[in-house]
Amino acid sequence: MRLTGKVAAITGGARGIGHSTAVKFAAEGAKVAVCDINADLTRQTLEEIRARGGEAEGFKVDVTNKEEIAAMVKSVMHKWGRIDCVVNNAGIVMDAQLKNMTDEQFDRVIDINLKGVYNCTRAVVDIMLAQQSGVILTTSSIVGLYGNFGQTNYAASKFAVIGMTKTWARELGRKGIRANAVCPGFVATPIVSKMPDKVLQEMVGKVPLGRLGRPDEIASVFAFLASDEASYINGAVISVDGGMTL
């Protein structure tokens, strides 16, 4: 198991890509802090991990709340004594064309998708520096590479986390800390499943592989990047999109 002995904190860890990542990390031997604002889904994720023999603890974490983040970090350090990886996965969409977008829509998405990544990474970086090792992983999006109609706020946040990732890779690489971003394409998550069938079919039609991605396919990339097998990958931005952006 490629993550045996490692400790990982995963935000948005109770649903979609985050859920699959938490389950995958535990299956690969990591001790997992499942961080999410939804207590019921967090509990279900913990039950799934533990039923498979994995080790995990759940934490209510709003990534805009520094006190909740600090409490999670303190608890993880008390229980496991280290943090080897943070997966910044929590995020939301509040779509609207620019002429219709409200300040609240823009600010809320930026606060969670961008500032939340900063908050969580800032909370663990001193620990990683003291360890002289660590991995910072962030969920961006193909929208963070190419933009998308009706997603001024979301695209801005996903472009920005790539910039932060590259900056952290430069700053922290010499300290033994790697930072990488993953850009999922169209993935069959609860958000996507709510879209009309016609829109879904149009999305699938743009993918050379002819289907939506699965959350576990994104989770597998995160698990590889968190492992020692990816020890020379730093500052990378990896698209996992079925070839859609070719």
| Catalytic center residues | 154
Contact 21, 223 (CB under 8 A): yes
Structure tokens of 196? 């009309």
